[in-house]
Amino acid sequence: MKIEHDLHIHTYLSSCCVEKELQTPKNIISLAEKMGMKTIGFADHLWMSPSIPANDWYKPQDENQITRLKQNLSTIKTGVRVLVGCEADTIGPGKFSITKEFAKTLDYVLLSCSHIHLDNFDQPKSLAPRDMVEHLVKMFLSGVESGIPTAIAHPFALFGPLHGRSDGLISTLSDTELFDMFSVAEKNKVAIEINAAAVALRSEPVRLITNAKKAGCKFTFGSDAHGPAGQRALLNLEPFLNKTGVTEDDILPLAIGGK
Ligand SMILES: [Zn+2]
Ligand SMILES: [Zn+2]
């Protein structure tokens, strides 16, 4: 299927963006126009929870992210549909970097449930794949039941020093376990993100997505771009999607012009 939306784009406002001078909303929109995108969504990292203090990395990425982004966007004219969202975090079961009330003020929220490489995040019992995966499933279930997310960003993808451990995690889960987990997402009307950067990392992403589809989940696409090359890499998902059987009917309406 043809990819015409990208709901996971970071700008210079995200601390992890290294190409800050290139990654402006203006440049991102102009590349999206060239790529033939119909909808794009900005998803900078966000921590605004008044009850849980942000770690040092997250501290500058508070709710002012959204104000600054909207100021930038106010001067740009484009035919591309532009949504303002964020990538928020599950710190541990029941602990989130964003409140439900703030989430409602945005067009959408991508919630990560696997950024466990960050400081002060709840940790698994050990780094054994099954312990890690059970911890990530708990984080996922807590996330989808929180009333916060529109979609779960890159399920089971690990980053930073844990990056290499993404491989082999999904194979420790049975199809029944995956189906049951995604059924909870479907019941809560939370979509699953198909993330171009994460698909390249994991050993069994096809099985992950086919089980989510079987459970009736809707999907969003995201490049997780932190620079122009990452934004272009979204289109690399097309051959992967052909293997999963995901079609236009499986896409979250919000991503393709609906609410
Ligand atoms: Zn992420
Ligand atoms: Zn991201």
Distance 37 CA to ligand 1 centre (A): 21
- How many angstroms from the chain centroid is the CA of residue 234? 13
Place of tokens 């770690």: 55
Q: What is the percentage of the chain residues whose pLDDT exceeds 70?
A: 100
Distance, CA of 33 to CA of 120 (rounded, Å): 39
- How far apart (Å, rounded) are the C-alpha atoms in residues 40 and 222? 9
Question: Any idea which ligand is nearest the CA of 89?
Answer: 1
Domain of 162, CATH number, reads: 3.20.20.140
The alpha carbon of 104 and the centre of ligand 1 are apart by a number of angstroms equal to 20
Give the pLDDT of residue 259.
78
Q: Return the DSSP state at 113.
A: S
Structure confidence by residue, pLDDT tens digits, 133-152:
999 999 999 999 999 999 99
For residue 156, pLDDT beyond 90:
yes
Residue 201 has pLDDT above 90, yes or no: no
pLDDT at residue 200 greater than cutoff 90 = no
Q: Which ligand is nearest to the CA of 97?
A: 1
Token code pair at residue 238: 């097309």
* Residues β-bridged to residue 81: 39
Q: What is the mean pLDDT of residues 180-185?
A: 98
Please determine, for residue 164, whether its predicted confidence score (pLDDT) is greater than 90. Answer: no
Ligand nearest to the CA of 158: 1
What is the pLDDT confidence band of residue 71, given thresholds at 50, 70 and 90?
very high
∠ CA 34-38-40, nearest 5°, is 90
Question: What pLDDT score was predicted for residue 222?
Answer: 97
Between CA 123 and CA 134 the distance in angstroms is: 11
Task: Report the separation in Å between the CA atom of 15 and the middle of ligand 1, taken as the mean of its atom positions.
Answer: 12
Instruction: Tell me how far the alpha carbon of residue 112 lies from the centroid of ligand 1, in angstroms.
Output: 6
CA distance 155 to 24: 27
Q: What is the pLDDT of residue 204?
A: 77
**Total domains in the fold of the chain:** 1
Cα(180) to ligand 2 centroid in Å equals 26
Calculated CA dihedral for residues 228, 44, 190, 236, nearest 10 degrees: 10
Q: Which residue has the tokens 């999607």?
A: 241
Average model confidence (pLDDT) across the chain = 95
Are 196 and 152 in contact by the 8 Å Cβ rule? The answer is no
DSSP string, 187-249: HTT-EEEEEHHHHTT-S-HHHHHHHHHHTT--EEEE--BSSHHHHHGGGGHHHHHHHHT--GG
Question: Where does the pLDDT of residue 165 fall: very low under 50, low under 70, confident under 90, or very high at 90 and above?
Answer: confident
CA 154 – ligand 2 centroid, Å: 8
- Name the residue range of residue 133's domain: 5-256
What number of CA atoms fall less than 13 Å from residue 68's CA on the CB side?
16
Q: What pLDDT, on the 0 to 100 scale, is given for residue 248?
A: 95
Q: Which two tokens stand for residue 62?
A: 């508070």
Nearest ligand atom owner, CA of 44: 2
Question: What is the distance between the alpha carbons of residues 232 and 226, in angstroms, rounded to a whole number?
Answer: 11
pLDDT digits 0-9 by tens, 21-57: 999 999 999 999 999 999 999 999 999 999 999 999 9
Tokens describing residue 61: 């990425």
**Parallel, antiparallel, or unpaired for β 95-96 and 81-92?**
antiparallel
